Amino acid sequence: MMQFPLTLVHVLERAEKLFGRSEIVSRLPDRGLHRYSYAEFCRRARALGGALQSLGLERGDRVATLMWNHYAHLEAYFAVPCAGGVLHTLNLRLHPDDIAYIVGHARDRFLIVDDVLLPLFEKFRATVGIEKVIVVPLSGSPVPGQHEDYEALIARSERLSMPAIHEEDAAGMCYTSGTTGRPKGVIYSHRSIVLHSLATATVDYLGLGNGDAVCPVVPMFHVNAWGIPFTAVMMGAKLVFPGPHLDAPSLLDLFQGERMTLTAGVPTIWMAILQALESEPGRWRLERGLRMVVGGAAAAESMIRAFDKFGLRVIHGWGMTETSPVGTVNFVKRETVALSGDERYAARAKQGIPLPFFEVRAMSAGDEAPWDGSTMGELQVRGPWVAAAYHELAAEADKWTADGWFRTGDIVTIDPCGYVKITDRMKDLVKSGGEWISSVDLEGALAGHPKVAEAAVVAVPHTHWGERPLAIVVLENGESATAEELRDFLAPRFAKFWLPENFVFVGEIPRTSTGKVMKAKLREQFKDWKKLE
């Protein structure tokens, strides 16, 4: 007997049949709110899929998106995979050269782009071979003649006739930055997305249900927004999108107005929200018990405590692009119910308990570390939504062990109850506001400055961004240089948020006996560094 395929086609058809009256709300660039029903969303997603097919989309073709979080992006999330294509969400915060590389490496044939993001596309258009550019007229300005108008396409499209999709077919993809070298692509199959949705929806984890009003603040270009758009549509929840307005007052207005019960984002967003709530107490009335899923970087215990005072619940989770992304989520296990207040908070600040079908182990010097809450080791994971390889990149095969575990590069302890806690990172990267900065790339560029003898870049803690890069520089004998001079030198090559605010000039950079920069020592030395603007 043929097995029933686990595909997004089922999720879309289910939404059509069962949840036609659920609502989708999107904030537009002009701050107005766009509202429509699931029935309308499903009709338009089918029309978009049909339009892509009539433009020549073939099975396995990549369709890139350069879009904020809104209804049209959700339409693409379903239209592309259900038409047999692969949804490739592009990170609009990257340097245009990196976006161009990613588009080229993925061999994207089509691009769907917000009209307000066309200026960004123009920066790399000439270097990529996109065949059709489809522009979403979000701000109402006319679509340039050489491009397709998204609305016109939908209006004249035939309804999508779904091709036979196999559950192992690629449905989505996303690129992640590495310590060295170029960004790496990860492919998600229909099956992996569906299983990830089923596991994350369960009560102990995100507990995402039909009665929820869900706002993915996490950009839809990050790991297909942590799977939430797929999971929410599977359950028929109300979906609310913030568009490009990610400042705290705009988000809080939206949470209040749409009676949000579940949202998700990186700590930087929640720190800004907390500050807004604290500086204007009483301005916003939020749903009691609103759950805020925090991931992508560590949620500080102090933040969890502070939100509790407002009756808002932080749910801490851990994941990676390579793990679709959710791997662990923090919930109160039976045996921890009796913990005292302080112990409870310390437990809630851990990254959490693995999802069903997601296996974890901490490896130290070739052995599995005991689950004692103190022995550290590298977190290795496996499961049906963990990538088995990078897209067309054989060079990184050593990221997987011979028996199929993925090496995450995170250093963790696992306690006897199974809570994973991240204690350090092997990856030589800085995570600022949820986005990666490669210290190795910055060091390489700095070393190219004629006055610089050597340079090291390390992450230093920052209250708003989580981490920021600090450049530690040794100048050539007899030379002098200013921070501005070095920053200006880096500026043309990197996205603005990559540029270090601060440069420290030192006589020597500590190295190991084998000549490697002692990054851990530098991180320790500068951990209380405060001089950031």
Catalytic residues: 176, 322, 431, 436
Do the Cβ atoms of 193 and 174 come closer than 8 Å? no
Query: Which tokens belong to 310?
Result: 């407002």
The residue (of 26 and 351) whose beta carbon lies closer to ligand AMP is 351
Report phi then psi at 275, rounded to 5.
-60, -40
Q: By CB under 6 A, name the binding residues for ligand AMP.
A: 176, 223, 295-298, 316, 318-321, 325, 351, 408, 410, 422, 425, 436
CA-derived radius of gyration, the chain: 23
State in angstroms the smallest separation of the CB of 122 from ligand AMP.
27
Do the Cβ atoms of 171 and 79 come closer than 8 Å? no
State in angstroms the smallest separation of the CB of 317 from ligand AMP.
6
Burial of 310 (0-12, 13-18, 19+ CB in 10 A): middle
State in angstroms the smallest separation of the CB of 464 from ligand AMP.
16
State in angstroms the smallest separation of the CB of 82 from ligand AMP.
25
Query: Which tokens belong to 88?
Result: 């490739």
Do the Cβ atoms of 291 and 332 come closer than 8 Å? no
* Side chain identity at residue 315, one-letter code: I
* Residues whose CB is less than 8 angstroms from the CB of residue 360 and which lie 6 or more positions away in sequence, other chains included: 327, 328, 354, 379, 380, 381, 414, 420
CA-wise closest residue to 447 among 486, 399, 408, 483? 486
The residue (of 381 and 446) whose beta carbon lies closer to ligand AMP is 381
> From CA 533, how far away is CA 518, in angstroms rounded?
26
How far lies 364's CA from each of 412, 429, 514, 519, in Å?
10, 21, 21, 19
Residue nearest to ligand AMP (CB): 321
State in angstroms the smallest separation of the CB of 190 from ligand AMP.
21
State in angstroms the smallest separation of the CB of 322 from ligand AMP.
7
Instruction: Find how far residue 111's CA is from the centre of its chain.
Output: 20
Query: Which tokens belong to 383?
Result: 């499961």
State in angstroms the smallest separation of the CB of 408 from ligand AMP.
5
> From CA 182, how far away is CA 127, in angstroms rounded?
17
Q: Assign 3-state DSSP to the chain and report helix, strand, coil percentages, each to 5.
A: 35, 25, 40
Count of residues in the chain = 533
The residue (of 408 and 432) whose beta carbon lies closer to ligand AMP is 408
The residue (of 85 and 469) whose beta carbon lies closer to ligand AMP is 469
Q: Which residue has the tokens 């077919």?
A: 169
The residue (of 154 and 306) whose beta carbon lies closer to ligand AMP is 306
Do the Cβ atoms of 300 and 267 come closer than 8 Å? yes
> From CA 84, how far away is CA 162, in angstroms rounded?
8
The residue (of 325 and 354) whose beta carbon lies closer to ligand AMP is 325
The residue (of 176 and 197) whose beta carbon lies closer to ligand AMP is 176
> From CA 201, how far away is CA 204, in angstroms rounded?
8
State in angstroms the smallest separation of the CB of 319 from ligand AMP.
6
Q: Greatest CA separation found in the chain?
A: 79
Residue 225 backbone class (left: φ over 0; alpha: ψ -120 to 50; beta: rest) = left
The residue (of 19 and 400) whose beta carbon lies closer to ligand AMP is 400
